[in-house]
Chain A
Amino acid sequence: GAGVSQSPRYKVAKRGQDVALRCDPISGHVSLFWYQQALGQGPEFLTYFQNEAQLDKSGLPSDRFFAERPEGSVSTLKIQRTQQEDSAVYLCASSPRQGELTGELFFGEGSRLTVL
């Protein structure tokens, strides 16, 4: 497909487990963003990559959250020792632009994480 692909779509984890969420951006897109969307809320910024460089991780809520994009394409968001408050939809978005956002972000459908 030509869009942003995220996997898994649904993940149920027991509290304390580690999870890894994957994002395949549109080919050639330089910028990649991760957002967290709690039920009934707007997406909240987590982190931003420009190619393989993580330029902003100010939105990561704790040091249990880690993201990487080692080759500048696929990205993985890892959450260690999951807590119930981590339950949310995790959205990935990509853009062919860097710097100013003069065009749209292309979002994936998200990975819905439920921590029991």
Chain B
Amino acid sequence: QQPVQSPQAVILREGEDAVINCSSSKALYSVHWYRQKHGEAPVFLMILLKGGEQKGHEKISASFNEKKQQSSLYLTASQLSYSGTYFCGTEKVSNAGNMLTFGGGTRLMVKP
């Protein structure tokens, strides 16, 4: 089942903060965050693993609440380059191999 993201869209001024939420009706194994700019490939931001381990490449933080089956992505002091659509992906575990189920996305626009 597809995770639910909120808000669907947000507009910020450069330097402002934003929080994007992702919730699932199923127990979360891990949560992945990606950003996609228009016409481009989704780019990996961060993985949050069960047990609290966090792996990421950028200075963007996130939380993972296993009990609430939620994750939040925190964008602080936003830059123009943060504009894009953010997707959370929840890992579906199967014997055949795990895959990601993505939410509908949150469109973020950062204005000067």
Interface residues of A in 75-106 (CB under 8 A from B): 91, 98-106
Residues of chain B with a CB closer than 8 A to A40's CB? 105
Bound Cα distance from A50 to B32, whole angstroms: 20
Q: Would B49 and A102 count as touching, CB distance under 8 A?
A: yes
Bound Cα distance from A91 to B55, whole angstroms: 24
Residues of chain B with a CB closer than 8 A to A41's CB? 104-105
Contact of A101 among B34, B39, B99 (CB under 8 A): B99
**What interface size band does chain B fall in?**
20 to 34
Q: Would A56 and B94 count as touching, CB distance under 8 A?
A: yes
A31 touches B (CB below 8 Å): yes
Q: Would B96 and A48 count as touching, CB distance under 8 A?
A: yes
Residues of chain B with a CB closer than 8 A to A91's CB? 41-42
Q: Would A103 and B47 count as touching, CB distance under 8 A?
A: yes
Contact of B87 among A43, A50, A103, A106 (CB under 8 A): A43
Residues of chain A with a CB closer than 8 A to B44's CB? 104-106
Q: Would B102 and A43 count as touching, CB distance under 8 A?
A: yes
CB distance from A24 to the nearest CB of B (A): 13
CB distance from A7 to the nearest CB of B (A): 14
Residues of chain B with a CB closer than 8 A to A108's CB? 41
Q: Would B102 and A42 count as touching, CB distance under 8 A?
A: yes
B100 touches A (CB below 8 Å): yes
A109 touches B (CB below 8 Å): yes
Closest 10 CB pairs of A and B: A104-B44, A42-B102, A55-B96, A107-B41, A56-B96, A109-B41, A107-B42, A42-B104, A43-B102, A42-B105
Q: Besides A33-B100, A40-B105, 18 other CB < 8 A contacts? A: A3-B41, A41-B104, A42-B105, A43-B87, A44-B102, A45-B100, A45-B101, A50-B97, A56-B99, A98-B97, A100-B91, A100-B98, A101-B30, A101-B100, A103-B55, A105-B44, A107-B34, A108-B41
Task: Provide 21 A-B residue pairs closer than 8 Å at the C-beta atoms, listed in order of the A residue.
Answer: A4-B41, A31-B97, A42-B102, A43-B87, A45-B100, A45-B101, A48-B99, A50-B97, A55-B97, A56-B96, A56-B97, A91-B41, A99-B97, A101-B91, A103-B55, A104-B32, A105-B32, A107-B34, A107-B42, A108-B41, A109-B40
